[in-house]
Amino acid sequence: MPYTPHDTTAPRIALVGATGAVGETLIGLIEDRAFRYREIQLVASPRSQGRTLRVDGREHRVSAVDTFDFSTVDLAFFSAGSDVSRKWAPVAAAQGALVIDNTNAFRMDPDTPLVVPQVNADALATRPASGIVANPNCSTIPLVRLLRPIEDRWGLSKVVVSTYQAASGRGHSGTAELHEATRAALANPADPGPQAEFAPTLAFNVIPFIDELLDSGFTMEEQKMLQESRKILALRHLDVTTTCVRVPVRNGHSEAVWIECHDVVDRAELVAALCALPEVTVHDRDAPGAFPTPRTIAEANDVHVGRIRVSPHNPRGCWLWVVADNLRIGAALNALQIAEELVARGTL
């Protein structure tokens, strides 16, 4: 049973953004993975104050972040957006909570480790100077988990990525808008439906633009994948270039990844290396050409990879097709695995 109120070795935890898509996913994962805690407090914006949510069969009333006392918890998960994290995560850390932040607010802060436990868990050996551990971007996490063994064996020279990102990347409001816009378009193809989250409409459409535009011509989402991959893999000069695209999929991000290595890549050895990774499903291990899709993946807690190809005209280059549940792999599950690692290492 995750809830162990008399176990003083189990942390007291707070979930900031508990009513959002990532927060609700995190609650489910805490239950599913039996993460031990002796107290849990749900926190959100003032407009959600007073709502009740069930965790492990017990009702919990949601508190407002602007009045919450973080000195009452040991560990605080933040999944309420960058603005909330910038304002309140340092407050929580100053009051003694170790923060796991699921936003872009602190990822590139030199005093804040950016962690994917399967890749760089050693960054959790000591409590960070900032009191914050950053959770990477939803598209970066599955990518670096697959790049790590490739770098170790063949060396990485260049990575080119095209992402196909689901509506749930914008939370509950994103999936709701996709559903409503799709219904509107089916009734009248000229009706774009609502466009509060996605403009132009995402219904029967793809949008090659996510987040704000930078002076470089790339978007912030695309820059995140470059900066974060370099930091997590400890490869300061790794060449990563990306086009991030929003697609009319409810949940589950996909990526087409071209990788150039320093040495010639053998496909059979590459497949074996990926198969050896924990919580990775290789779809074309036995049937070359097989592939996962967001609609058909069976294990939502795995990174799924298929269409593994070594280029015949450039044997140092290979292609991967990658699919991962962005609310789990790309957000809540990685955050919880950070917490599990912190507990296992006694860093809390």
Length of the chain: 348
- 19 annotated binding-site participant: yes
In sequence order, the β-bridge partners of residue 164 are: 245, 254
- 165 annotated binding-site participant: yes
- 169 annotated binding-site participant: yes
**Phi, psi at 210, each rounded to 5°:** -130, 130
**Phi, psi at 264, each rounded to 5°:** -65, 135
- 20 annotated binding-site participant: yes
Q: Is 293 exposed, middle or buried (0-12, 13-18, 19+ CB in 10 A)?
A: middle
- 246 annotated binding-site participant: yes
H helices present in 217-326, as ranges: 220-233, 267-275
- 227 annotated binding-site participant: no
Catalytic residue among 6, 60, 237, 253: 253
H helices present in the chain, as ranges: 21-32, 82-94, 117-120, 140-154, 171-187, 220-233, 267-275, 333-345
318 is catalytic: no
- 188 annotated binding-site participant: no
Separation between Cα atoms, residue 161 and residue 139, nearest integer Å:
10
138 is catalytic: yes
- 162 annotated binding-site participant: no
Q: What's the Cα-to-Cα distance from 117 to each of 1, 231, 283, rounded to whole Å?
A: 24, 14, 23
- 63 annotated binding-site participant: no
Catalytic residue among 138, 244, 261, 318: 138
- 48 annotated binding-site participant: yes
Other beta carbons less than 10 A from residue 52's beta carbon: 9
Q: Name the CA radius of gyration of the chain, rounded.
A: 20
Q: Which residues are annotated as a binding site?
A: 19-22, 47-48, 107, 165, 168-169, 189, 246, 326
Q: Which residues are annotated as a binding site for phosphate?
A: 107
Q: Which residues are annotated as a binding site for NADP(+)?
A: 19-22, 47-48, 168-169, 189, 326
**Catalytic machinery residues:** 138, 253
Q: Which residues are annotated as a binding site for substrate?
A: 165, 246
